[in-house]
Amino acid sequence: MQKQISFIEVIKKTIEEGDVVLPVFNSAAMKVQQELVKKEPDMRVLENAIATDQSLSSLVLQMANSSFYSGLVEVLSVRAAIVRLGIREVGRISLFVISKNQFRSEDKRLNFVMRKLWQHSVGCALGVNWLTKRCKLDDMESHAFFAGLLHDVGKLLVLMVVEQLRKKDPELPVTDALLMEAMESLHTKQGYYLMKLWNMPELYCVVTRDHHKDDYDNTNDMLILVRIANMMCNKVGIGLRKDPTLMVSALEEAHHFNLTEIDLAEMEIFLEDTTILTR
């Protein structure tokens, strides 16, 4: 127990003392998101943000052509993808691709955990998107999606700190249990700190901070959407946890949007299908 506390304290102290290289938020992602939240996003802005980066555009096309978005004809350009899938869908795909680059480590074990974390973030964002459609919350669609994608960014921060600590001291003992414990106990507070540092609008920061809080703001629809999507991902096993016994339909959050067992069963199937995208 003592060991756990000290390991977590070391991570916390390292972040608080600024003794670490923090992840930066990708400027292309910011450009895409700023366009997506507009009432009428401009196709040219999105196309430019993607097409000027060769590797980004090829990865976006790869994802747009995956069986999840299955079309009869393969799309060969960003513009064709936008025409077929729509501006918002392509915007979402590009945010997935951009975020993936952050979830990488030279350390094999950390890389595995980061990959799982990325899968969870994408699953959660798509889950939130599914919910906004089901609950007819069209106005929040793009904001809520983004909040879902970033809700666990504090875990990424913890993993990056561990990576840097291990580079300094390769003998540093880090068990899987310690890693999980550190992420669980630090990610909401440290994630909030990171989001603030990135100058993210408060509505996203609050979701990062409060998505596990018992005494949460039960009037904050966006927070509630992310809490539901997060739990559904944990139920299906998208990410680091799998708990099929989770009864999401019994939760206050599901009641808030009058989600029935059938709604949630449909959402579960949808989430299982999304895993094609992140394999």
Summarize as ranges the residues that interact with Fe ion (CB under 5 A).
152, 230
Assigned token pair, 278? 């992140």
Query: Residue 84 or residue 116: which is nearer to Fe ion going by CB?
Result: 116
> Distance between CA atoms of 262 and 72, rounded to whole angstroms?
30
Query: Residue 141 or residue 152: which is nearer to Fe ion going by CB?
Result: 152
Query: Residue 152 or residue 263: which is nearer to Fe ion going by CB?
Result: 152
- Rounded least distance, CB 151 to Fe ion, Å: 6
> Distance between CA atoms of 241 and 48, rounded to whole angstroms?
37
Query: Residue 177 or residue 262: which is nearer to Fe ion going by CB?
Result: 177
Alpha helices in 198-260 (DSSP H): 202-210, 221-236, 252-256
Query: Residue 102 or residue 230: which is nearer to Fe ion going by CB?
Result: 230
- Rounded least distance, CB 18 to Fe ion, Å: 24
- Rounded least distance, CB 127 to Fe ion, Å: 10
Query: Residue 35 or residue 253: which is nearer to Fe ion going by CB?
Result: 253
Tally Cβ neighbours within 10 Å of residue 236: 23
- Rounded least distance, CB 124 to Fe ion, Å: 6
- Rounded least distance, CB 228 to Fe ion, Å: 11
To 5 degrees, how large is the angle CA 187–CA 189–CA 193? 105
> Distance between CA atoms of 79 and 126, rounded to whole angstroms?
22
Based on the number of CB atoms within 10 Å of its own CB, is 243 exposed (0-12), middle (13-18) or buried (19 or more)? exposed
- Rounded least distance, CB 276 to Fe ion, Å: 20
Those residues with Cβ within 8 angstroms of residue 111's Cβ, 6 or more apart along the chain or in another chain: 104, 105
Query: Residue 32 or residue 122: which is nearer to Fe ion going by CB?
Result: 122
- Rounded least distance, CB 227 to Fe ion, Å: 9
Rg value, the chain, Cα: 19
CB 82 within 8 A of CB 46: yes
> Distance between CA atoms of 267 and 257, rounded to whole angstroms?
14
DSSP code, position 140? G
Alpha carbons within 13 angstroms on the beta-carbon side of residue 34 total 10
